[in-house]
């Protein structure tokens, strides 16, 4: 059932709360997604997303590529889109937090970010 939950839905990837997934970006969408251990490091060219129920919903994203990205995130089981900052390159983690409790976060529509991924 967990694998079914993380299926690509409209080319987006849903990462369930309590899990971490790594993937490559192909034509702006997650591709070759696979579950990884929390605290793992993404391989070169991969992005890793982990979601926890801390302070509502917390997502840690690490981009181990040379391209900064903007992307779309939606809380699953909570209302609306989630505002995100850009995802900078260089394998440094970024943290997004929302007060709503979600059962997962759906990510997709990755686009190269201007200004090296500075948060707007």
Mean pLDDT of the chain: 86
d(CA 5, CA 1): 6
47-72 pLDDT, tens digit each:
999 999 988 999 999 999 999 999 99
> What's the pLDDT at 119?
63
Provide mean pLDDT across the span 39-44. 93
For residue 116, is pLDDT > 80? Answer: no
As a whole number of angstroms, the distance between CA 30 and CA 44 comes to 15
Token pair listed for 100: 């709503």
CB 93 within 8 A of CB 63: no
Q: What is the pLDDT of residue 46?
A: 97
- In the predicted structure, residue 113 carries a pLDDT above the cut 60: yes
Find, among 100, 94, 2, 97, the residue nearest to 49 by Cα: 94
* pLDDT exceeds cutoff 60 at 23: yes
């Amino acid at each position: 059932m967990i694998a079914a939950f993380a299926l690509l839905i409209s080319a987006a990837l849903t990462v369930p709360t309590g899990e971490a997934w790594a993937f490559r970006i192909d034509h702006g969408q997650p591709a070759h997604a696979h579950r990884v251990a929390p605290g793992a490091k993404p391989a070169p060219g991969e992005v890793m997303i982990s979601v926890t129920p801390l302070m509502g919903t917390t997502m840690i994203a690490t981009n181990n590529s040379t391209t900064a990205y903007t992307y779309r995130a939606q809380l699953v089981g909570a209302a609306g889109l989630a505002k995100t900052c850009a995802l900078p390159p260089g394998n440094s983690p970024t943290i997004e937090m929302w007060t709503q409790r979600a059962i997962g976060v759906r990510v997709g529509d990755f686009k190269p970010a201007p200004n090296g991924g500075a948060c707007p």
